[in-house]
A and B are shown apart, each in its own frame.
Chain A
């Protein structure tokens, strides 16, 4: 049976709130005059979003023209018996390229963070001594802002990563490492808590069976602390995404953060609308990442209560 009141609450209420938000925004936008024009309303932001899509298409068309020109040169070179090497199109990154860069960066950072945080968390959870030893350090570094880490990371990356033919851009590495440094803490703390709260009976059984420690960790500790670990990972990814935008602004990694900064620097009449498009994009992707992690958590831990 369809419960109308239930339906109203789950669909009607959010729709109402959204409509109210858009109405308030439109009303406010018309009244606020900034030094670079009026605050854009929902309509202008939508237009700016369309503009970005059109720009993306135009850029791809230019890439096509470039490919054609290169084909001419390639044939000429081959016909003349000269060596030829394919060149990458050196155009500007479009908005969608920037989104892709941001996603690649955040997942790299998240991967580094997880590779460090989960094993360290297991160690902390299984050994109270290790936990006691590391706890002050964790508490000390956990609240540090990405903007404080970034200059240190950038200088270290410049000093240590000196390949002549680098696989990654330095700006990419700096941003990803900063994301990792800021986002590993929730996973670390949650894993430690999860491991520490494994049912002692299970561990006793393992002891009776004389299971070696790695089997104990693999068969008992990890499975029973999985929900905790995933909660940690989910929080970490959220933090990482938030931190990334700030890191990209300064590290010059060509993602959404750099987009926001560049548009701000433009100071044109389009600036505010374009930055608002980015705000909605960042929010939307953050939301999608979170839902993705929840789905993963459910699939792995059979924890249907995860929301």
Chain B
């Protein structure tokens, strides 16, 4: 040991000599805090954090980061708010919900969108068989996609007639999955239930009861029959295929093309006290996203890293199923889907106001926001949560360091042009949230 240490010292001394020969970099502001503890949930979309650490992007920013898996989204958010974690992998709805006080109230902000898409809805084998029986288009080994929830309507009715409504799982009341599953059901006329002041479970007037289960427990909860289906991120849909306990029937990419999924969240207080650290974290994360989307070979390497037990920990084969440009619906029905996980392309890392406003509209649509709000409120709220200025500062430094091309920075005021990439074709304009709410058939109208 001693001999090895001194050998290492000698080696490093030589390296120092080599480094000193090169020009010293311009003196930069040091980070306010360089030992950080960041939380994540065991899902493949925690990849930017894991890659930034494992490939040394954090260390290049003089950040020494510990990544810690958290038991569930609630504990993760509470620990960020209490300061035990400096920041974390969060559901896009979490910083918004926390800021406006849906659930735990505390100002949480984000300057980095971690990925697009990456979720799917899985139903049990029995439900899938009945859906296939109800709709001939779904029969056979390669049914036509996207699968509408219309085939589910008679099954939902049957469950209701028995007095035992159908149950489905999502991972958190504020999660993208909750809104995606609700959107998909409502697009076929199935009422997913409303949140009211007296009912924080969101099951009032519901055709399907939606409940909360942590992502890694989804497959076992489905297997036990507690729920008949769920909406979750990977690898937990592919896990169902592997275990033969369920069938992923639709990806969120087919519900809303290129929807924003996870973000990197910190408290507003933390962001204020650590502006330089924040920019550096975002820099490292943008580079990780870029690396992840750079080549299929990188994705393969990412799968191998994510499969380690301290990160996602699922078997590499399961993770690879969705991370390498394919998606397997039923066993054997493997289809090419290069956009299932997007970490960088389409300006995926930029925190668009319009993406955040969509979540606000859904919170209002289902009653989590208890009273109507004017359009100006939506804009003001999202500007207090999404911090594209921090992203831009990080990206511009990366351009100066020649890690990014100027074209990698979107020319935008934060609002995307009206988007009609939804399964029911209803267009969405983030500047007119109330008009959008009125255009949706099911849900609160203003």
User: Measuring CB to CB, which residues of chain A are less than 8 angstroms from any residue of chain B?
Assistant: 35-36, 55, 64, 67-69, 71-72, 75-76, 79-80, 87-92, 158, 169-171, 249-250, 252, 254, 261-271, 274
Contacts and interface: CB of A to CB of B under 8 A. Distances in A.
Majority SS of interface residues in chain A?
helix
Interface stretch (B65-73, B196-204, B283-291): B65-73
Nearest to A259: B309
Contacts of B239: 267
Contact of A72 (B15, B66, B68, B217): B15
B75 interface: yes
A68 B65 CA distance: 17
A265 B82 contact: no
A72 B243 contact: no
A271 B35 CA distance: 31
Nearest to A89: B64
A252 B16 contact: no
Interface residues of B, number: 45
Given A171-B84, A262-B309, A87 B315 contact: no
A79 B11 CA distance: 17
Interface in B376-434: none
Contact of B69 (A68, A88, A265): A265
A265 B219 contact: no
B315 A35 contact: no
A72 B12 CA distance: 5
A94 to B, nearest CB: 9
B223 interface: yes
Contacts of B8: 64, 67-68, 71
Contacts of B24: 80
Contacts of B66: 90-92
A76 B312 contact: no
A58 to B, nearest CB: 10
6 contacts: A35-B219, A75-B16, A87-B64, A90-B64, A90-B65, A267-B216
Nearest to B17: A75
B35 A87 contact: yes
A300 B4 CA distance: 46
Interface in B58-105: 59, 64-71, 75, 78-79, 82, 84
B220 interface: yes
A260 to B, nearest CB: 11
B11 A68 contact: yes
Contacts of A72: 12, 15-16, 19
B84 A264 contact: no
A268 B309 contact: yes
